[in-house]
A and B are shown apart, each in its own frame.
Chain A
Amino acid sequence: MVTYSPMRPPVGISGVGTVSPFGTSCEAFRDALLDGRTGIAPVCAFDARGCRTTLVAAVGGFDPAAFISPMKLRRMDPTAAYAIVAARIAIEDARQPLQSSGDDSGGVVLGTWSAGGPMTQEYLGALFRSGPAGVPGLVFNSTVGNAAASLAGLEFKLRGPNTTISHKEASGLAAVVTAVNLIREQRAAWLVTGGVDTAYEVFFKAHDRFGVMSPRAAFSSGMSPFDRNRDGFIMGEGGFALRIQSDDLSRDSHGTKYGDILGVAASGSSVRINAWPDQPAPLARTMRLALQDAEIRPDDVDVVYASANATPGLDRIEARALTELFGDTRTIVTSIKGAIGEFGGSGAAACVAALLCGRVGRVPPIAGFSDLDPSMTGLRLARESLPSPGQIVLINSFASGGALFSVVLRVAS
């Protein structure tokens, strides 16, 4: 148990929201993770015949019209719809009603990798077919990279900081790190932060050509993170939001519902463009920086939500870094990417998962895990749903290209 008396006040977490393969219910998301279920299934949204990879972890059970007016939806990218719905669920979860006039002290900081790609694909398709006069100007606004955060800010009349962060797979956790720093600097009293992405056709097929995704025809045992037979990630999508707030606000509202963010770190690894980190030291350094920021030690950490996504190299390197900090200790290591795949919202999804599962005292298993990679025997991996040994959780999100982020949470008891 950590006796926590930090130099800097923690940042409270007052609400969470999800748009996932398991729908828009946070409880459904949590239960699916704890049951070891997966959202990975054959691609339905477009024709993936001829592709090396034909699996995706697509959003399911999602009706945006239940949350967003049809007049707004008609020119909205799915990425923005995921953002607005996840943000709305997080804001309503916090039970701190918005003023109808909006709020100057609240803002939006979102991470996205795909950004407005679906609308860009449509826009360029019309350009190629019909020339400049034929493009649907109506959707142009949704092609820009910051559309999701911007439209979420407009939807809720939040006039504080509105920022979009893009660091590929780590975009969502990069946004959380940025948002925490904005709260600490008192640039905003509260923020909606997290990550959103859409697994759209061009994006999927570009990754398919790189051959970085698993070629299996169906979700199967052994394709999970850290498994010895892993053979690449599966692309995911969705929206995952956290409503975070300053310590002053947390005291006014009698504490925060989910817990606190104690420490954050952003770092880098010098690798080739698009390559995964290939040395453990920068990853270990990023984790240590987050722990230092939280003023705790590695042996205070109860659970790690790893960045591992079933990519052979990334998982091996992260396992070596984790072993350096947590090898042969009580710390449990899990990864939710066997359930939701890899995408720009996955780090934020891990934060939400840690809070939801932690509140019921559990750690989710690594979905699809079968045989341990023999090089990772020093880690206590979650082969099945386990009782959580404590409240301190470390979240990692490491991007291809070398952007590295870690966050330390304390889950409310």
Chain B
Amino acid sequence: MAGATDMTDSSDSSGSPESLQAEIKKAIVRSLRLPIAPEEIDTSTPLFGDGLGLDSIDVLELVLELERGFGVSISDEQTGNRVLQSVETIASFIIAERRKNSA
């Protein structure tokens, strides 16, 4: 059975979109205990349905993980539906939020 959740900070350091996407993949696999390697996730793979096959319980944990690890808040369902589509959309959201906060 899976062990305790690793609470390591997921924040990327290099700042490039690719490294951010890689960090997001790692965070998804770790926090949701997916039985795959982070590299196996394509950045455009849908998180739900026929893609990674996540469900509503995963959404709750994923939202918390993005808050904990990347400092972004997904505060309403509409934002969640827009952001939680793929690693790509999550990365774009994080970059946009960081730009907004640093402006």
**Do the two chains bind?**
yes
B96: Cβ under 8 A from any A Cβ: no
> Do B2 and A137 touch across chains, with their CB atoms under 8 A apart?
no
**Nearest chain A CB to B79 CB, angstrom units:** 19
A contact residues around B32 at 8 Å (CB): 74, 138
- The answer to whether A136 and B61 touch across the interface, beta carbons within 8 angstroms, is yes
Q: Judging by beta carbons under 8 Å apart, are A141 and B57 in contact?
A: yes
Task: Please state if B60 and A125 are interface contacts (CB–CB under 8 Å).
Answer: no
B33→A138 contact, CB < 8 A: yes
A74 touching B2, Cβ below 8 Å = yes
Give B35's nearest chain A residue, CB to CB.
A70
Q: Which of A77, A133, A141 contacts B64 (CB 8 A)?
A: A133
- Interface majority SS (helix, strand, loop, mixed), chain B: loop
Contact A122 B31 (CB under 8 A): no
Contact A133 B57, beta carbon cutoff 8 Å: no
Q: Is A75 an interface residue (CB 8 A)?
A: yes
Given known A133-B64, A138-B32, A138-B61, contact A71–B5 (CB-CB < 8 A)? no
Which chain B residues border A134 with CB–CB below 8 Å? 5, 7, 68
Say yes or no for A78: interface residue by CB 8 A criterion.
Answer: yes
Is residue B49 contacting chain A, with contact meaning CB distance below 8 A? no
A134–B5 CA distance with the chains assembled, in angstroms: 8
Q: Mark A123-160, 1 if CB is under 8 A from B, else 0.
A: 00110011001101110010000000000000000000
For A122, the chain B residues whose CB sits under 8 A away are 3-4
Q: Which residue of A lies closest to B34 (CB)?
A: A74
Q: Is A10 an interface residue (CB 8 A)?
A: no
Task: Scan B1-23; emit 1 where CB is below 8 A from any A CB, else 0.
Answer: 11111010000000000000000
Distance of A118 Cα from B33 Cα, bound (Å) = 16
A134 to B3, CA, bound (A): 14
Bound: A138/B3 CA distance, A? 12
Chain B residues, Cβ within 8 Å of A138: 5, 31-33, 57-58, 61
Whether the pair A137, B64 counts as a contact (CB closer than 8 A) is: yes
User: B40-57, CB under 8 A of A: which get 1 and which 0?
Assistant: 000000000000010001
Nearest chain B CB to A59 CB, angstrom units: 12
Closest to B59 in A: A137
Give per-residue flags for A65-90: 1 if the beta carbon is below 8 A from chain B beta carbons, else 0. Answer: 00000110111111001000000000
Interface flags for A292-317 (1: CB within 8 Å of B; 0: not) read 00000000000000000000000000
Complex contacts, A73 vs chain B, CB 8 Å: 35
A71:B35 contact, CB within 8 angstroms: yes
Are A74 and B33 touching (Cβ within 8 A)?
yes
Smallest CB separation, A258 vs chain B (Å): 31
Instruction: Give the docked Cα–Cα distance between A26 and B53 (Å).
Output: 34
Closest Cβ neighbor of A122 among chain B residues: B4
8 Å CB contact of B5 from A76, A78, A81, A126:
A126
Report Cα–Cα, A392/B2, bound state, in Å: 44
User: What residues of A have a CB within 8 angstroms of the CB of B61 in the complex?
Assistant: 136-138
- CB neighbours (8 Å) of B68 from chain A are 133-134
The answer on a CB contact under 8 Å between B53 and A71 is yes
Measured CA separation A138–B27 after assembly (Å): 14
Interface centre among B2, B35, B58 (most CB of A within 10 A): B2
Q: Which residues of the partner chain B approach A77 to less than 8 Å between Cβ atoms?
A: 1
- Minimal beta-carbon separation of B29 from chain A (angstroms): 10
Residue of B nearest to A45 (CB): B1
Cβ-defined contact, B4 with A126, below 8 A: yes
Q: Which B53-77 residues have C-beta < 8 A from chain A?
A: 53, 57-58, 60-61, 64, 68
Specify which chain B residues have a CB less than 8 angstroms from the CB of A118 in the assembled complex.
1
Contacts of B60 in A (CB 8 A): 137
- For A75, the chain B residues whose CB sits under 8 A away are 2, 33, 57
Query: Which residues of chain B are near A130, meaning CB under 8 Å?
Result: 7
Q: Verify B35–A74 contact, CB threshold 8 A.
A: yes
Query: Which residues of chain B are near A141, meaning CB under 8 Å?
Result: 57
Q: 9 A-B Cβ contacts within 8 A?
A: A73-B35, A74-B2, A74-B32, A74-B33, A74-B34, A134-B5, A134-B7, A137-B61, A141-B57
User: Which residues of B are at the interface with A, using a C-beta cutoff of 8 A?
Assistant: 1-5, 7, 31-35, 53, 57-58, 60-61, 64, 68
Interface residues of A (CB under 8 A from B): 70-71, 73-78, 81, 118, 122, 125-126, 129-130, 133-134, 136-138, 141
Besides A134-B5, A138-B32, A141-B57, 14 other A-B contacts (C-beta < 8 A)? A71-B34, A71-B35, A74-B2, A75-B57, A76-B1, A77-B1, A78-B1, A125-B4, A126-B5, A133-B64, A133-B68, A134-B68, A137-B57, A138-B31
Pairs of residues from A and B, 8 with the lowest C-beta to C-beta distance, nearest first: A70-B35, A74-B33, A136-B5, A138-B61, A137-B61, A137-B60, A130-B7, A134-B7
